[in-house]
Amino acid sequence: MAMTITNQEGQTQRADIILANTLTDYSRAALSKLFTKGFVTKESEKIKAGAKIRPDESFRVELEELEKPAEVLDLPIIYEDDNVIVIDKPVGVISHARGKYWNEASVASFVRDKVKDIDGERAGIVHRLDRATSGVMICAKNAETLSMLQKQFSQRKTKKIYFAVVEGTPEPSHAVIEVPLGRNPNKPQTFRADKSGKISSSEYEVIKHNDEYALLRLTPKTGRTHQLRVHLQYIKHPILGDELYGDSKAERLFLHAQSLEITLPGGDRRVFESKVPAIFDQKVS
Residue 281 is a catalytic residue: no
Task: Enumerate the β-bridge partners of residue 42.
Answer: 45
Q: For the chain, what is the mean pLDDT? A: 92
Summarize pLDDT for 24-72 with one digit per residue, the tens.
877 777 788 889 889 999 999 999 999 999 999 999 999 877 766 656 6
Question: What is the CATH architecture assignment of 69-155?
Answer: 2-Layer Sandwich (3.30)
> What pLDDT score does 252 carry?
96
What pLDDT digit, counting tens, does each position of 238-263 carry? Answer: 999 999 998 888 999 999 999 999 99
Gap between the Cα atoms of 188 and 81, Å rounded: 39
Longest dimension (CA), the chain: 64
Q: Which CATH class is domain 158-285?
A: alpha beta
pLDDT in tens, 71-104: 667 899 999 999 999 999 999 998 886 655 456 7
Kind plus residue range of the DSSP H or E element containing 230: helix 227-234
> Is it the case that residue 4 has pLDDT exceeding 80?
yes
| Nearest residue to 76 (alpha-carbon basis) of 275, 282, 283 | 275
pLDDT at position 65 is 73
170 in Cβ contact with 225 (< 8 Å): no
Q: Which long-range contacts (CB under 8 A, 24 or more apart) does 52-56 make?
A: 52/12, 52/13, 52/14, 52/15, 53/7, 53/12, 53/13, 53/14, 53/15, 53/18, 54/7, 54/12, 55/7, 55/8, 55/9, 55/10, 55/11, 55/12, 56/6, 56/7, 56/8
Strand partners, 137: 87
- Tell me where in the chain the CATH 3.30.2350.10 domain(s) lie: 69-155, 158-285
Out of 130, 194, 247, 281, pick the active-site residue. 130
Right CATH for 2-67 from 3.30.420.10, 3.40.50.720, 3.90.1490.10, 3.10.290.10: 3.10.290.10
Looking at the chain, the domain(s) classified CATH 3.10.290.10 span: 2-67
